[in-house]
Structure formats: C-alpha cells, structure tokens
Amino acid sequence: MRITAIREHTIPVSRYADPAIPSGGLTTSLVAVTTDVIRDGKPVTGYGYASIGRFGQGGLIRERFAPRLLAARDGDLADDGGSHLDPLRAWDVMMAGEKPGGHGERCVAVGTLDMAIWDAAAKIAGLPLYRFLADKLGRDVPHAPRVAVYAGGGYQYPHDDLARLSDEMRRCVDLGFTHAKIKIASASLDQDLRRIEAAARPLASVNHLAIDAMNRFDLAAGLTAARALAGYGLLWFEDICDPLDFATQADIAAAYGGAIAAGEALFSQAEARLLVRHGGLSPARDVLVFDPVHCYGVPGYLRIIETMTAAGWARSAFWPHGGHLFSLHLCAALGLGGAEVTPFAFAPFCGLAEGLQVVQGHTGVPQAPGIGFETNPSIWREFQALH
C-alpha cells in the first residue's frame, strides 16, 4: 500500500457570490493524493482542500508533509489486513518528528492532506465517507442520514449592504434553510443592529439567526456589543475576540448571557482544554465550531471531541465550521449537532452535492464512495485541473 503521487494547487476564493467584490485575497489549497490501488482500471485518488479562512498551505504541503507520505514504506500506510489505506496511520506518518506546540497553520496543511486520504480510503473500501468512518470507529449510523445545516455567509457588502443582505437571506430561505449566520463587527454597532434586523426578517424569528464577530472585539467594544445584543435572543454569538484571549471572552460571555460559539480559530486538543478551563463557556448553552480540517484533520478533531465531551459537552454542541461536504460526513458519522453550508460564498466550494437539497433545515449526505466531490460539477472541475 503506497501513495504514489501528491499534487497541490492554490486557488483564490471569494467571500461573495460575486467574485468581483474585493474579498481580501483569500486562497485555499487543493490536493490530489494518488494511491497504488487500482479500481476500474485506474489508481484510486483522494481529494481534499484546506477549508476556508486560513489561506493556502502549499509550501508546507509540498516541502514538509507530502514528502513523508511519499517516502512511507510498504505497510506504513496500510491497515492490519494490508489491503486498505488506513488514514490514522497515514496521519502518524505525516506527524513523525513534529514537536508539541507550534500549531500555527501547519495543522491546516496536515488537515488538507488528511481529508484527501480519508477520501481515498473510503473509495478503496467502496463506501461513502460517513459509513467508512463510522465502521472504523464502531459507531452505528442510519443508511441515509439527514444532517441539520445552517446557511453561512452574510458578509458586509461595499454598496447597498442592507438590501443585498436581505436578498441573500431570502435566497437562503428559498433553498430550504431555516437558520443562517451573518457577520458583524465590520461596521458600527448601529449598522450591525440594522443588519441583524434585516437578516432576521426572512427567517421565522431572530432566534434562527447567528452572528459572527470574526474575533474583532476588544473587551470594551465586546462588552458594549454584548449589552446591545443581549435582548435579541440570537441563535448564537460567535468568535467574539482574539481566540486565545480567554479572559476577555469569559467577561463578555458573562455580560451577554446568551449562547456563545467558539473554537473556529483554535486548532488543537491543548487549546480545547484551555477553552474549557478559561473561556467562560457553558456546556448547557454554548456551541463549538472547530473546523475539522484546521484541527489537523480527523485524528485531531476526534481528540478535541474527546476533550470536550469529557468536560460535559454533548456531541450535539458541535457544529463544524467550513461549509464543506467533508463536515457533512463527519456530522453523520460522529453524531454531531449539524454543519455549516455556504450556499453562495467561497466558490467553487459553495453549495452541496448535485441532487442534494435542504428541506426544513436538513440535508442528506452524498452516497458515492468517498466524500463525493465528484458529484458537485464546480468542485470536480477544480480537482480535475490538478491532473
């Protein structure tokens, strides 16, 4: 069992459905991991990408982690039977020699390759990823699971912000979403309150709307915002301040009193422990939005789940960030609360697999072997360009 080739390519992604709107130069890395296993006359290849929000990781992938996978000996990557790719052993190969700490964004490079390896392993087994992962972990899952989802987006528009935001939310509702999340803290607090009211109108109520401050508030601004927002009854208030400033987060959470979402910009089990101890969060109320790709992939994400559940959190509190098909599979396999979907932002990785629909805030999971990127034409075109 060998990995014979790894290809990486970095592409631009936009926060907006209209890519002409300036979006800060965001990029993401795409990878194709080719194995020596032949199916239907061709080597099995797994595909992955670096989620969104942290920029591409091409240098680390090409110079540090891909060479370790390519140099692995026969048997290093295989399961006990020797005939199937074992993503957990592949992860150990990637992390060989890495020192504790220093997470930076190496976790994203590892998570990108990890996604592709899970895709390849599930394809070799002939199973959709959620079924392959559940079997590997000894978990029971329905044959055709349904996953709760919400629509992510709602970035501030440079012109006609309120009208365009309202239109975006109406289109989300038309697609079958019942809950959505928008961004705040890019404008004045008064404008943020107007945005919340405009975005909530197409939804059943304001408690179907979450807000994301993108880690921008300091203590004074965060306390002011928390007091202004406390009466709305929002779904949750996400990423309030610097992700490692747990004292500020705890103070703002106490002043706010409503549901807080945290974890998107934390990447390791050690950081999750710090969040538990010092973040001022409540397992009975709050939400965890760790991104599985950014947390060193599935092995790192499983360790974070272990840490948080041991501290009293239910799996239903996990709503993974990223808006991608990979998270849908993990929610189905691991029994998580639900997942973000980005209907319009971050093309080509927006939307779902072809044929999947959102019905009353829930959607299915691709049934093709692997993750199912091949079932979304826009995504598949980008991955085919790697070859």
Q: Which DSSP string do the residues of 105-120 spell out, in sequence order? A: THHHHHHHHHHHHHHH
Residue with tokens 């910009």, as numbered in its chain: 265
Top-level CATH class of 146-385?
alpha beta
User: For all residues of the chain together, what is the average pLDDT?
Assistant: 96
Which residue in 137, 112, 44, 128 sits closest to 83, CA to CA?
A: 44
Whole-angstrom Cα distance, residue 125 to residue 127? Answer: 5
- State what percent of residues in the chain have pLDDT above 90: 94
Model pLDDT, residue 23: 83
Residue with tokens 């928390």, as numbered in its chain: 226
Which residue in 231, 206, 227, 307 sits closest to 263, CA to CA?
A: 307
Distance between alpha carbon 325 and the CA centroid of its chain, in Å? 9
Whole-angstrom Cα distance, residue 42 to residue 184? Answer: 48
* Rounded average pLDDT over 165-194: 97
State yes or no: 161 annotated in a binding site: no
pLDDT digit string, tens, across residues 295-317:
999 999 999 999 999 999 999 99
Which residue in 256, 307, 301 sits closest to 277, CA to CA?
A: 307
Model pLDDT, residue 240: 98
pLDDT digit string, tens, across residues 225-253:
999 999 999 999 999 999 999 999 999 99
Kindly list the domain boundaries of the chain, sorted by start residue. 3-126, 146-385
Enter the DSSP assignment of 311.
T
Show contacts of 97-105: CB within 8 Å, 24+ apart. 100/270, 101/270, 103/267, 103/268, 103/271, 105/54, 105/55, 105/57, 105/60
Model pLDDT, residue 314: 98
Confidence class for position 2, pLDDT limits 50, 70, 90? very high
Render the burial of 353-371: b for 16+ CB within 10 Å, e for the rest.
beebebeebbbbbbbebbb
Angle between helices 189-200 and 161-174 (to 10 degrees): 30
Active-site residue list: 183, 321
Whole-angstrom Cα distance, residue 247 to residue 243? Answer: 10
What would the CATH number be for the domain defined by 3-126?
3.30.390.10
Amino acid at 375: T
First to last CA, the chain: 21
The answer on pLDDT for 117 being more than 90 is: yes
* Residue 238 backbone class (left: φ over 0; alpha: ψ -120 to 50; beta: rest): beta
Q: Which residues partner with 287 through β-bridges?
A: 261
Confidence class for position 184, pLDDT limits 50, 70, 90? very high
Which residue in 339, 335, 287, 331 sits closest to 308, CA to CA?
A: 287
pLDDT digit string, tens, across residues 147-158:
999 999 999 999
The answer on pLDDT for 135 being more than 90 is: yes
Model pLDDT, residue 383: 97
pTM: 0.96
Whole-angstrom Cα distance, residue 234 to residue 22? Answer: 29
User: Residue 147 — φ and ψ, nearest 5°?
Assistant: -120, 130
The answer on pLDDT for 74 being more than 90 is: no
What tokens were used for 312? 């009293």
State yes or no: 354 annotated in a binding site: no
The answer to whether the CB of 35 falls within 8 A of the CB of 87 is: no
What tokens were used for 236? 């949750």
State yes or no: 212 annotated in a binding site: yes
The answer to whether the CB of 308 falls within 8 A of the CB of 288 is: yes
